[in-house]
Structure 1
Amino acid sequence: MFLSRLLDPVKSAAREAGAELWQLYQSGDFEQQQKADLSPVTSADLAANRIIINRLSELTPDIPVISEESYCIPLGQRQDWPRYWLIDPMDGTQEFVARSGDFAVSIALVEHGWPALGVIYWPKEDVLYYATRGHGAFKQQRNLINRIRVNEHQSGDILKIAISRRQPLQPIVDLLQNKHDVEYVALGSCSLKSCLVAEGKADCYLRLGPTGEWDTGAVHVIVEEAGGKILDSEFTPLSYNRRDTLANPDFMVMGQASIPWQQLIKARVTERNLTA
């Protein structure tokens, strides 16, 4: 009941932030800077961040918020939180700057170290993806709401893999045990590619390179409620709020459980997996 009461206000907050992003995207009236890690941030990210934090603070003043665009709270202060909001006010800033339209608002509620509520809003398409733990995953486009499930992949079907528009393909190809009968589906935004798996338009998404826990929090519950899984590159579950940094290891978003994923994708131990 607690999660269900939160869902509609969180969807509204995501839409409001997304509307601000879309207005700034269309007008071109935003400034771009570079973070310490050389990734881009814009005044639009910060505007959306303010909207979401204000709305969540009004909705649940006792629940803390972790955002990509806010100061990183030390682990010692946050590790015992029973629940917290985990947000990315604009997932896909590079896509925003590049004018592809493939960017999204991401809001998750993490309870006892595991995502329990997730909302993704894609302003360009006016689409909401959302889920609460134990109640299924849904896609809402305007007033049409449909429950979503991962693709019912059959033996012999072409395996559809979601990939980035901006990253080289070869590292992904190198992870595949069988490189035949594969189709690549390109889209921007980490969360939107994960939602492709959740709604059955791709069978998996392999993510190599830096991401934060805010990139996976909301989609984690959406993908799992749709019948899929998100695992790291060693086929173990991602974790939340257990590390000094909020960096994710490389990860895989996998659809139908009956697909022999460990026969198709090479497990990969990386330095980041060992030290994160």
Structure 2
Amino acid sequence: MTDEDLLALAATLAERAAHAINAIRAAGFAVERKSDESPVTEADRVAEALIVEGLRAATPDIPVVAEEEVSAGLITKLAHRYWLVDPLDGTREFAAGRDSFAVNIGLVQGDRAHLGAVAVPASMEIFGGIVPQGLAWKRDAAGQRAIRARRIPEKGATVLASRHYSDDPRLDRFLDGRKVAEVQKIGSAVKFCRLAEGAGDLYPRFGRTMEWDTAAPQAVLEAAGGRVVSFEDAPLRYGKPDFENGAFLALGAA
């Protein structure tokens, strides 16, 4: 399968998972707690089963690492290429009745995000990107079109902050002295997608994330001309112990 084929597969499965999540949201659901006290719902499990089954059927030679499987102790052996799946990124947002949650399906090659698809179920937006090709797009009710990250406007940067960590004093210290037009509080991988389509400029992340949180949206953003780096300007890489990311900056075209 070509990169285009793999991205089309990821986008199709992300869209199907988004419809399944919306159906569960409409019907009502319970919120449970995993061993690390993070929330989980029926939507997480149903979406993951749909995605994992589809990926393994279509690409049996590419391992799949999925959040809920890892939480249950099922960790697939990695290879040069592997899928990273977060079936419902932003479960806190979903459980609280907000709309900033996403479906992430990313393909890692070596130790870098190679391509990915992100679905935003509440608005049924689908984002896709292939990093080496510099190709990123968005699909919604108006159709599919190319997207590009922007340079910071003269009025200053639009900063996208994680809602869960928006009161972190490190954010104020980081922004001190920078020209900031506004700070928007948004949950989940939606922040990367807004940067990729030129609706924001900077997303500093200080708190803990996992590799399945970032692989797909990083691919979308970097394919759109943005960057995801550590605070020391090193690329965000994959295959780390326990799949944990350190602090990072997601940037537009600046």
Give the TM-score band, short-chain normalised: over 0.9
Matches within 5 A, 1:28-107: 28=28, 30-71=29-70, 77-78=77-78, 81-107=79-105
- Compare the two structures and name the one with the higher strand fraction: 2
- 165-174 or 223-232: which moved more? 165-174
Q: Note if contact 2:134-2:225 (Cα within 8 Å) is conserved in structure 1.
A: no
Q: Name the % identity.
A: 34
Structure 2: how far apart are the matches of 1:181 and 1:7? 35
Match for residue 253 of structure 1?
250
Measured after TM superposition, the shift of residue 222 of structure 1 is 1.0
Measure how far apart 1:181 and its partner are.
Answer: 3.6
Report how many residues are paired. 250
Residues 109-165 of structure 1: CA deviation (Å, up to 9, x unaligned): 1112222110000111110010113141111113511211112324x4221100123
CA deviation vs aligned residue, 1:40-63 (integer Å, no higher than 9, x gap): 111210111100001101111121
Matches of 2:56 and 2:179 in 1, distance apart? 50
Q: Return 5+ residue gaps in structure 2 as ranges.
A: none
The 1-side partners of 2:176 and 2:16 are apart by 43
The residue that corresponds to 1:220 in the other structure is 218
TM-align CA RMSD = 1.8
Per the alignment, residue 270 of structure 1 pairs with none
Normalized against structure 1, the TM-score is what? Answer: 0.85
**Matched residues in 2 for 1:112 and 1:178: separation?**
37
1:114 equivalenced with 2:112 (yes/no): yes
Q: Deviations along 1:221-249, whole A, 9 cap, x unmatched?
A: 111111110011222111101x2210100
Structure 1: gaps (5+ residues): 258-276
Secondary structure at the residue paired with 2:126? strand
Deviations 1:17-74 (A, max 9, x none): 111111111221x232212222111121011110000110111112110011113566
Deviation at 1:167, TM superposition (A): 2.4
- What residue number does 2:199 align with? 201
- Name the counterpart of 2:163: 165
CA contact (8 A) 1:74 1:244 kept: no
Whether the 8 Å contact between 1:88 and 1:215 is mirrored in structure 2 is: yes
SS in 2 for 1:166: helix
Q: Compute the displacement of 1:180 (Å).
A: 4.7
- CA pair 143-9 structure 1, distance change in 2 beyond 3 A: farther
Runs of 4+ in 1 over 6 A off after TM superposition: none
TM-score between the two structures when normalised by the length of structure 2? 0.92
**How far off its partner does 1:207 sit?**
1.1
